[in-house]
Structure 1
Amino acid sequence: MPTAGEPAGVRIAGVGIGLGVASGPVVRMAERAPAPEDVPSARSPEEESARVSEAVAAVAAELSLRAENAGGTAREVLEAQAMMAEDPSLEEAVESRIADGRTAERAVHEAFAEFRGMLEQAGGYLGERAADLDDIAARVIAHLRGEPAPGVPTPGHPFVLVADDLAPADTALLDLDPESPQRVLALVTTEGGPTSHTAILAREKGIVAVVGAADADRLSDGDVVIVDAAAGSVVAHPTDDQLADARRRADARAAAESAPVGPGRLADGTPVPLLANLGSPAGAEEALAQGAEGVGLFRTEFLFLSSREAPSAEAQRAEYAALLTAFRGKKVVVRVLDAGADKPLPFLGDAEEDNPALGLRGLRALRANERILRDQLTALADANAEAGADLWVMAPMVSTVEETAYFTDLAHELGLQTAGIMVEVPSIALLADRALAHADFASIGTNDLTQYTMAADRLLGSVAGLQDPWHPAVLRLVAQVGAAGATHGKPVGICGEAAADPLLAVVLVGLGATTLSMTPAALADVRTSLARFDLAAARRIAQAALEADDAAGARAAALAAAETPAGS
């Protein structure tokens, strides 16, 4: 633990989210309550079951209420948590343990832990939900005990929150009001990486954050720190000069954010359109207000994931029309349904797979159920006929040139003029020169491309160190796709979380990306970062990153190159 005798200005390394900087006193997140004891219940099974039913209903209602008050990705995550809390399979698992004589608290603990392990093993989308189960279980157990739900502390003054990690329900509703006496000035986590739920939600909400700062566990309540997202560090016990510099930078950034919003471009005028990633039409207004020049990734899963059967083309058309009308005349890239074994949908088949992340998912699943794909493409074409946006469509999880030709030919046949592919699998990145002979464009999903390149589940903490889009192996694949795009005169976009990293955005442009798409809250920082460099500098910075041996080295090399004047 830090003490008054420790030197001032000690730096703790992590991964910064955005370019923000903030300073203030530390308040640590409380430790989770210990697991319930494994002792026989003094109540009847019927009484314990009733207690669980009431607690689960209360927790689901609370999560649903938080979802209504949140927006964007936070709302989607919380709604999913509320559904998970009342999952029938979990209910059965709890009931079986209560029938064996366990207390309600112990039954919930064991059942949720079992399901967490199953989801972690499944990986992919289901693996992403595993950590959420811990939060749901803790909330249910706290309700059973008559204790407050785990959550963010309320010290009565603005503070820097330090935690191992945050549950989505907590991150979604952090108090960020500048007038609030309990405002969260910044967020520091010892776990997680740039694509964790905490990082994604922090970026979306514009929270100054540094994640994966393992040594932050040395910080104590009351320690004054500077959270420097731009540098990816936390400065403990800063000097007066360091504090003054942090406040100056924070004021300058606030002034830049309030300036009129313009298009994304490099210092030499090279245009780099900055687009928004959206999960439903509800996010359109905010994205436009943040200066989005269009939509680079519109996820359509929200129409399918809660349905027992695929929605009709007409039902889809109305939702697509709402989005396309909001962006009339602007570019809108829609990803067709990205589902399959790792996002189980009853109408796509229910065959179990040992490794669903490598199974029948994305375009593979749609091709096996072509009517669903045809209905979706038809609905999109019909919606755009009345809305008048610049509609582009793309297929997820494409791995072969033949799949590329299949999708683009079908989309053109059904009246869609611009059809492309997502590059998420190394095979198609390596064959990008041939794939782009068929596709009208490519969009690189850096989250999955990193996962498959590094053979590291992006949501598995034990391999989080490998799940970094800065890794030169990933950057080389991006460069290969960028080169293929330049050869064919085809656009190459980035729509993964990597595009929201201000310095990595410059590298990606240097590697050949022509557009960047991200959560709307990241647009201002990326716009500012791009405006610092011309195309030659972006290419020089990208080359420095490519020559590194690992992700940390690539980030450091890019930062050094960015701070070195050209020709030095």
Structure 2
Amino acid sequence: MTPAGSSAGMLIGTGIGQGVAHGPVARMAPPPAAPVAEKSTLAPEKERERAAEAVSAVAADLAARGEKAGGEAQEVLEAQVMMAQDPSLAEAVEAKTAEGSRAEWAVHSAFEEFAEMLKGLGGYLGERAADLNDVSQRVVAHLRGLPAPGVPDPGRPFVLVARDLAPADTALLDLDKVLALVTVEGGPTSHTAILARGAGITAVVGARGAETLAEGQDIIVDAASSHVIADPTAEQRAEVQRRIEQRAAVQSAPVTPGALADGTAVPLLANLGSPEGAENAVQLGAEGVGLFRTEFLFLSSDRAPSVDEQAKAYTQLLEAFPGKKVVVRVLDAGADKPLPFLTNDEEENPALGLRGIRALLAKQEVLEDQLTALAQAEAATEADVWVMAPMVSTVEEAEQFTELALAHGLKTAGVMVEVPSSALLAEPILQRTGFASIGTNDLTQYAMAADRLLGSVASLQDPWHPAVLRLIREVGAAGRSASKPVGVCGEAAADPLLAVVLVGLGVNTLSMAPAALAEVRYELSQHTADSARAAAEAALGTTSAAAARAAVREALTQ
């Protein structure tokens, strides 16, 4: 069978990671039938109680799944819990039960109306509509006494094919059974992609035509090339097996410090979303932490946590990295992470609104509490704490944050470079602060004017694009000029070939999901500093992401 819209059985999407897998398709079961509008025989108050109990049960289940998964998965699921418990949704459900509707219909219709409103807003909030629909389906299933929608279990290893996958399911996929993941929808930084990358799941998202893949059909999922191949030949299957064995050898190789073939050190650090992921990162060879996201402390609350609460959590993480660098990003709220005590949820375009350092400087007491807690945690441990501000766009923001951090007893402060203005102003910024860390996910989004969560513009969300690479070159050059370190903590660092290019552009350290460390470490060890610079120049001389990849492959094989 050749899927519609494919070429010789090939589908094209966005690959997550560098893995490859081969196996039979198992399709995600469709969601349960939507409730119909019908009057209840129970009192409105009873139906309201049924709805509230079901929402509470689903929220508790999602929170438990998040706690079990930890890391980025916990952040995503806690955000979903907040959506489920949104007071405006509860009011809408109550209003519908007051009209005599059954709880099932009240929940379904209220959540659907809210999801349509989010879709209309577009961007980050538009992408959250899928998360809200998942919550709605789980609540309705609970009301009906049915199991929640979930991953199939055909009794053998399989490639999971779905229109999209709910965060609650992605977070707890059984990797002994799920060989790979293919979705019809979603972009490279959708929640599905983020969680798949963090767990090391081979995945291709946004693969148009994947809905035509049949149950049990033999397919190859090649994340490295972003292809899905239906009904592969014997030769193709043999090549996949060779690559799987090669990746296994790389993954099991002895852990060594990150370095180029000529001995040039390139420390490889971990991106972490909670203290629970620290032990695994250390085992996989992380030489420290290049991005510790602190949002996990804030997302499940309607108030900012106290200094003591924060200091306890930070101390737990720092204790896992004695004598090593831990780069902590202060709270990055706004856009897809609105917080009632910090951000304005009525902004029409929150990705361009009061987010990151802008929100923190507008309510400075939240920032100062966090800096105080970080200083206390550093004093209680042997870790080397570096603190950085998200979404810095002006020299004044960099200067103000650095002064505040130093005044609170933190000796190393820096900024994230995530918007073109901070890349272009990197030299004066680095003259006023201690270091820069490039967030390639947002830098690509803003450079290409392509929302990072929209599958419809996924082809533009590519850090290989020469426009993005030129911005990174500006930061690297500014770092050399100011003798200040420059790192990358965006997903670009997890691409082994692109990691070589980043080093050639002047990046000193690379931070990534721990699952990517082994392959990046291996790729760097195959090239010298001179060849990395030559690869970077080759990429900069092109005009598209695809051409940049091709030019680098050619440059590194000469």
Fold shared, TM-score > 0.5 on shorter chain: yes
Moved more, 188-197 or 42-51: 42-51
Provide the C-alpha distance between the structure 2 equivalents of 1:291 and 1:42, rounded to a whole number of angstroms. 61
Moved more, 263-272 or 336-345: 336-345
2:129 is matched with 130
2:510 is aligned, of 486, 493, 516, to: 516
CA contact (8 A) 2:123 2:349 kept: no
CA contact (8 A) 2:267 2:287 kept: yes
1:417 is matched with 411
Task: Label 1:552 to 1:164 Cα distance change in 2 as closer, same or farther (>3 A).
Answer: farther
1:188 is aligned, of 178, 182, 187, to: 182
Provide the C-alpha distance between the structure 2 equivalents of 1:39 and 1:425, rounded to a whole number of angstroms. 50
Task: Label 1:543 to 1:330 Cα distance change in 2 as closer, same or farther (>3 A).
Answer: same
Report the count of equivalent residues: 557
Question: Unpaired segments of 5 or more residues in structure 2?
Answer: none
Task: Label 1:62 to 1:341 Cα distance change in 2 as closer, same or farther (>3 A).
Answer: closer
Moved more, 228-237 or 60-69: 60-69
2:12 is matched with 13
Shift of 1:388: 2.2
Determine whether 1:485 maps to 2:484: no
- Deviation digits for residues 195-241 of structure 1 (CA, Å, limit 9, x no counterpart): 12112111211212222222323321121112222222222212222
Task: Label 1:8 to 1:492 Cα distance change in 2 as closer, same or farther (>3 A).
Answer: closer
CA contact (8 A) 2:111 2:136 kept: yes
Question: What is the 5 A alignment of 1:435-454?
Answer: 435-454=429-448
Shift of 1:49: 2.5
- Deviation digits for residues 472-524 of structure 1 (CA, Å, limit 9, x no counterpart): 22222111111111222211111112222222222222222111111111212
Provide the C-alpha distance between the structure 1 equivalents of 2:95 and 2:413, rounded to a whole number of angstroms. 50
CA contact (8 A) 1:266 1:534 kept: yes
- Deviation digits for residues 91-125 of structure 1 (CA, Å, limit 9, x no counterpart): 11112123334443332222112222444456676
Provide the C-alpha distance between the structure 1 equivalents of 2:534 and 2:370, rounded to a whole number of angstroms. 42
CA contact (8 A) 1:28 1:163 kept: yes
Shift of 1:159: 0.8
* RMSD after superposition: 2.6
1:401 is aligned, of 395, 399, 405, to: 395
Provide the C-alpha distance between the structure 1 equivalents of 2:346 and 2:125, rounded to a whole number of angstroms. 13
Provide the C-alpha distance between the structure 2 equivalents of 1:132 and 1:55, rounded to a whole number of angstroms. 17
Task: Label 1:219 to 1:431 Cα distance change in 2 as closer, same or farther (>3 A).
Answer: same
Provide the C-alpha distance between the structure 1 equivalents of 2:114 and 2:373, rounded to a whole number of angstroms. 37
Question: What is the 5 A alignment of 1:58-73?
Answer: 58-73=57-72
Provide the C-alpha distance between the structure 1 equivalents of 2:353 and 2:15, rounded to a whole number of angstroms. 34
> Secondary structure of 1:242's partner?
helix
Moved more, 391-400 or 193-202: 193-202
Task: Label 1:539 to 1:164 Cα distance change in 2 as closer, same or farther (>3 A).
Answer: farther
2:91 is matched with 92
Q: Tell me the amino acid that sits aligned with residue 396 of structure 1.
A: P
CA contact (8 A) 1:123 1:457 kept: no
- Deviation digits for residues 135-174 of structure 1 (CA, Å, limit 9, x no counterpart): 1111122233444321111111111111122111111111
- TM-score scaled to structure 2, two decimals? 0.92
Question: What is the 5 A alignment of 1:19-98?
Answer: 19-41=18-40, 43-98=42-97
CA contact (8 A) 2:387 2:412 kept: yes
Q: Tell me the amino acid that sits aligned with residue 386 of structure 1.
A: A
1:298 is aligned, of 284, 292, 296, to: 292
1:2 is matched with 2
CA contact (8 A) 1:8 1:239 kept: no
2:274 is aligned, of 280, 296, 305, to: 280
1:336 is aligned, of 302, 313, 330, to: 330
Shift of 1:131: 2.2
- TM-score scaled to structure 1, two decimals? 0.91
1:554 is matched with 548
Provide the C-alpha distance between the structure 2 equivalents of 1:342 and 1:75, rounded to a whole number of angstroms. 15
1:197 is aligned, of 173, 188, 191, to: 191
Q: Tell me the amino acid that sits aligned with residue 2 of structure 2.
A: P
Provide the C-alpha distance between the structure 1 equivalents of 2:63 and 2:406, rounded to a whole number of angstroms. 41
Provide the C-alpha distance between the structure 1 equivalents of 2:162 and 2:554, rounded to a whole number of angstroms. 30
CA contact (8 A) 1:341 1:352 kept: no
Question: What is the 5 A alignment of 1:84-483?
Answer: 84-120=83-119, 126=125, 129-177=128-176, 183-340=177-334, 343-348=337-342, 352-483=346-477
Provide the C-alpha distance between the structure 2 equivalents of 1:342 and 1:61, rounded to a whole number of angstroms. 21
Question: Unpaired segments of 5 or more residues in structure 1?
Answer: 178-182
Shift of 1:57: 3.0
Provide the C-alpha distance between the structure 2 equivalents of 1:502 and 1:236, rounded to a whole number of angstroms. 26
Moved more, 344-353 or 75-84: 344-353
Runs in 1 of length 4+ with deviation above 6 angstroms?
6-9
Q: Tell me the amino acid that sits aligned with residue 104 of structure 1.
A: A
Task: Label 1:504 to 1:194 Cα distance change in 2 as closer, same or farther (>3 A).
Answer: farther
Task: Label 1:309 to 1:196 Cα distance change in 2 as closer, same or farther (>3 A).
Answer: closer
Percent identity between matched residues is: 67
Provide the C-alpha distance between the structure 2 equivalents of 1:526 and 1:63, rounded to a whole number of angstroms. 33
Provide the C-alpha distance between the structure 2 equivalents of 1:201 and 1:268, rounded to a whole number of angstroms. 35
Task: Label 1:122 to 1:442 Cα distance change in 2 as closer, same or farther (>3 A).
Answer: farther
1:540 is matched with 534
Q: Tell me the amino acid that sits aligned with residue 273 of structure 1.
A: P
Q: Tell me the amino acid that sits aligned with residue 451 of structure 1.
A: Q
> Secondary structure of 2:319's partner?
helix
Task: Label 1:212 to 1:345 Cα distance change in 2 as closer, same or farther (>3 A).
Answer: closer
Shift of 1:46: 3.5
Provide the C-alpha distance between the structure 2 equivalents of 1:377 and 1:58, rounded to a whole number of angstroms. 36
1:180 is matched with none
Task: Label 1:536 to 1:214 Cα distance change in 2 as closer, same or farther (>3 A).
Answer: farther
CA contact (8 A) 2:270 2:288 kept: yes
> Secondary structure of 2:25's partner?
strand
Moved more, 46-55 or 326-335: 46-55
